[in-house]
Chain A
């Protein structure tokens, strides 16, 4: 057990960071909005509470988030299972590809969805304008959160627990329900909470696939703040949204019952194996088919679009980007866009890795002493409207340093979204690390710090890698939140896509840029897979 004093010391850094870059800007903008002339605009609360449109938007926001989360969990668990338990050809590549949707700008996803689920759908149904389009898009985006968040835990669960249940007379389904599922519960709840927050504050997907009936509080806040400049209404709606998020997080905190004692974790390489029986191949096959349909098809559509030119299939859209001639000299080169994107992504990963790991340490060590409450609070930024935080930066961060137009603000904004991912993926594993191991290291002469580095860190490293990968993906694909920050003109890949889609005739180039973004993400994910693979023996 770490001493109280050193715990407070560790806690100081993330608490200070989140207070300055989240709580303070948020409070400032909400006060600015709600006290327009120094007096509380109480009428704005009355307005939103009595407004039937707001009520229906709030209701839609909640139920679509619940349903989207349930669907994502339902479809993500087989994915997590197959990737955690089996080796098969193309496993790493496929797992890497499931992360790609996470980074795609919603505008691009809109194109892909229109092709798969639109009027010319090969599946034969047109989902445009229905809530199904939104739900499926949410699953598409968030599936990898479940696949990875649950998978990283699943692949380390000792399979003998399941064997024991089978010898006690439980069928495979019963084993899953009675042993596996309860053991996975913390990881599932963690990942599901992230998916819920993402979908509860859904913005881009709603703009692209929603309509006037199907809209969220997030979109409504943006509309009020930018189209109507009703900051009072926007603030009141943001508070309503925060209340909703807090309520859900409190419920989550209650449900998140900790696994008693340490869970015997196994090195993941020991567990994964080739499917042995016809039944196992069938399970793997069915799951991969589902992934293929939901994840890979839309991606394939985008690749197809990027290759489709006036002269048939060709690379001319890529050529126009890389060696611009004629009209295309106006565009930014992909190399520069990639460099700019990485320039934001790497500090974002670094910041969220450090702050996230420190936060996770507090959460785990501080159980029963407010650690769990801290855990829940860490997720609030994910559930806070991006436009509100963006505006909050503007009104709050001018003193003592004027950070408002600093490039640093972009990785910081990304880190607010990414930190919960690092925390969520590391906490379940940290919780499961048996104190005995740590004590063994202490007895062997390691200082507490050394013990943390030598025992906790290597065991947590894989989970940290997963969290960092998400931080990278969040940063490299992020467009919505940062668009509310005024920033020096630095064109990242998503911004380049946005601009290419902003005028007639450059659709193919936008798709080519999107494919480049997909490729970078897949390469990063494969890189993480490779690191994880080489570490297998060392855990």
Chain B
């Protein structure tokens, strides 16, 4: 028995020892904390290392909400130097908890004013629109027009057509809820709650995540389901063309009730390498990185000098008036809105 225990102890010590030696230390290495959907082409981060001599370790978390919660929990002793991927629906939470050191990126002048945050606590890196996607084939077969506005969906003619994501578990779900709140308002004859009550009465389907909504319930594109209207992204039709090797998008978007999601990067307070962290944020906003974004993450670069791939130019529609909501407003009301939403649709 004694020998076995000894072996076990040795293995443990060896394992722990190994992990310690792999721990990144020193100013020539910094750590980037990001969410699960982060994707870049090979060589992009290596190019940053070549230019600056700073190596980057990427740490992945789950969704943006989990990532922000984790950063808040480790505020005093952060696991990373830079966070990328916090969006406008979670930003106020990060700001309220003083997660970031202000940093003005070198290329910030190329970012449209609407995306910038006052005082530059964080730097906008990319944006995208959450929009309703439709399946024209299915709608035509059913003899109904594609909805033109959000309000149309409350019409009994659209009964059983819509699938949305739960806003408390899904980021596009939350974006769509926010778009509906901005569209119908909190007061008046037909506030957002009434709209959702009508949707619920109209055989609304709610699922917990985008993939279940799109692949499981949506009938268009690569979806396998039965419903012709889904909450997805403005870039989804283009992605269908790209991955499906198609000539034309199989799906459309509805040019109403789109919500603009902006993702930011920031230097985490408590970093031991503030300067290097700032350099990485600068790099994330540089043209090299910005032009790599669209085909990897299917969002638009925040730097408007970055050129777009043909796919985006040809197939990604730009919503005329996407909802843009102040992060502070979202932060202040989010919990109440989610609770009200749940009680309306439950």
Q: Do chains A and B touch in the complex (CB under 8 A)?
A: yes
In the assembled complex, which residues on chain B have CB atoms less than 8 Å from the CB atom of A212? 166, 206, 342, 345-346
From A208, A358, A504, contact of B5 by CB (8 A): A358
A509 CA / B247 CA spacing, docked (Å): 20
From B3, B66, B335, contact of A449 by CB (8 A): B3
- Judge if B142 is at the interface, Cβ distance under 8 Å: no
In the assembled complex, which residues on chain B have CB atoms less than 8 Å from the CB atom of A483? 36, 61-62, 66
In the assembled complex, which residues on chain A have CB atoms less than 8 Å from the CB atom of B215? 111, 501, 507
> Are B36 and A498 neighbours in the complex by a CB distance under 8 Å?
yes
From A32, A210, A486, A502, contact of B33 by CB (8 A): A486
- Judge if B16 is at the interface, Cβ distance under 8 Å: yes
> Are A402 and B23 neighbours in the complex by a CB distance under 8 Å?
yes
User: Assuming the A-B contacts A394-B70, A502-B37, are A226 and B5 also in contact, with contact meaning beta carbons closer than 8 angstroms in the complex?
Assistant: no
> Are B298 and A208 neighbours in the complex by a CB distance under 8 Å?
no
- For residue B295, give the distance in angstroms from its CB to the closest CB of chain A: 7
Count: A-B pairs, CB below 8 Å: 200
In the assembled complex, which residues on chain B have CB atoms less than 8 Å from the CB atom of A210? 208
User: Assuming the A-B contacts A407-B19, A448-B1, are A226 and B65 also in contact, with contact meaning beta carbons closer than 8 angstroms in the complex?
Assistant: yes
List B residues 216-237 near A (Cβ within 8 Å).
Answer: 216, 221-222, 224-226, 232, 236
Give 1 or 0 for each of A488-515: 1 = CB within 8 Å of chain B CB: 1100000100110111111110000000
Stretch among A6-14, A279-287, A371-379 lining the B interface: A6-14
> Are A110 and B212 neighbours in the complex by a CB distance under 8 Å?
yes
A502 CA / B164 CA spacing, docked (Å): 15
List B residues 46-63 near A (Cβ within 8 Å).
Answer: 57-63
In the assembled complex, which residues on chain B have CB atoms less than 8 Å from the CB atom of A208? 207-209, 212
A355 CA / B8 CA spacing, docked (Å): 8
- Judge if B242 is at the interface, Cβ distance under 8 Å: yes
From B36, B79, B224, B338, contact of A507 by CB (8 A): B224
In the assembled complex, which residues on chain A have CB atoms less than 8 Å from the CB atom of B93? 229
> Are A226 and B66 neighbours in the complex by a CB distance under 8 Å?
yes
From B58, B61, B221, contact of A504 by CB (8 A): B221
Task: Return the chain B residue nearest A12 by Cβ.
Answer: B5
> Are A6 and B1 neighbours in the complex by a CB distance under 8 Å?
yes
List A residues 1-54 near B (Cβ within 8 Å).
Answer: 2, 6, 9-10, 13, 17, 29, 32
User: Assuming the A-B contacts A10-B5, A212-B166, A310-B244, are A499 and B37 also in contact, with contact meaning beta carbons closer than 8 angstroms in the complex?
Assistant: yes
- For residue B205, give the distance in angstroms from its CB to the closest CB of chain A: 8
> Are A487 and B73 neighbours in the complex by a CB distance under 8 Å?
no
In the assembled complex, which residues on chain A have CB atoms less than 8 Å from the CB atom of B206? 211-212
List B residues 171-215 near A (Cβ within 8 Å).
Answer: 206-212, 214-215
From B2, B169, B244, B245, contact of A227 by CB (8 A): B169
User: Assuming the A-B contacts A207-B169, A483-B36, A502-B211, are A227 and B242 also in contact, with contact meaning beta carbons closer than 8 angstroms in the complex?
Assistant: no
A2 CA / B2 CA spacing, docked (Å): 12
Task: Return the chain B residue nearest A400 by Cβ.
Answer: B20
Q: Which 8 A-B pairs have the closest CB atoms?
A: A505-B243, A226-B65, A406-B19, A483-B62, A408-B19, A489-B58, A207-B208, A501-B211
A residues with a Cβ closer than 8 A to B are 2, 6, 9-10, 13, 17, 29, 32, 107, 110-111, 114-115, 119, 207-208, 210-213, 219, 223, 225-231, 310, 326-328, 330, 347, 350-351, 354-355, 358, 361, 387, 391, 394-395, 398, 401-408, 448-449, 452, 483-484, 486-489, 495, 498-499, 501-508
20 contacts between A and B (CB under 8 A): A13-B5, A115-B224, A208-B209, A208-B212, A219-B169, A225-B69, A226-B62, A226-B69, A227-B169, A228-B168, A228-B334, A391-B69, A401-B20, A405-B80, A407-B19, A487-B59, A487-B60, A501-B211, A502-B210, A507-B215
